[in-house]
Amino acid sequence: MSATPAEHLRPLSPDEEALVRSLGRVMYALPRAIDADMVGDRQLPLTEYTALMNLSEAPGRQMRMSELAAACHLSLSGMTRTVTRLETQGLVERVRCEEDARGWNAVLTDAGLARLQESWPSHLAAVRRRFLDHFEGMDLVRLTQAFQRIGTTG
């Protein structure tokens, strides 16, 4: 383990403490709020929407289950449960990986793409209302860059 620089041991200012605590609440509350809005609109739950969205953007509208789980920030077992629900609705199919017969790919069906497109307005409205509207007038490019730096530190 590397030594911690002295500047990182400086106590948090009240503004820094408020930011850290607020971020923790947002990370927990935001996905739940968006999910509740979508379910309330009788659309896909957020987890299922996110899985279909990732599949729609993948080459051939398919991804290895482990890659889809990582893209959706779910465990493999959580992704398996999600894909099983989507499969039962005819929105996704599971097929063996061509390059590795032990693995499985999730494949977005035409019905799944149609359901994703149907749910998109509800997702968009929830994301705007619950998240983006709160950043009115802020420098979104700089904010995005900061989030990306945080997200890529290991």
pLDDT digits (tens, 9 = 90+) for 98-123: 888 788 999 999 999 999 999 999 99
Q: What is the CATH number of the domain that holds 58?
A: 1.10.10.10
Residue 94 lies in a domain: yes
- pTM of the predicted model as reported, rounded to 2 decimal places: 0.88
Residue 120 lies in a domain: yes
Residue 21 lies in a domain: no
| Structural domain of 52 | 41-147
Report how far residue 15's alpha carbon sits from residue 102's, in angstroms, rounded to the nearest whole number: 51
Q: Domain tally for the chain?
A: 1
pLDDT digits (tens, 9 = 90+) for 12-55: 999 999 999 999 999 999 999 999 999 999 999 999 999 999 99
Residue 72 lies in a domain: yes
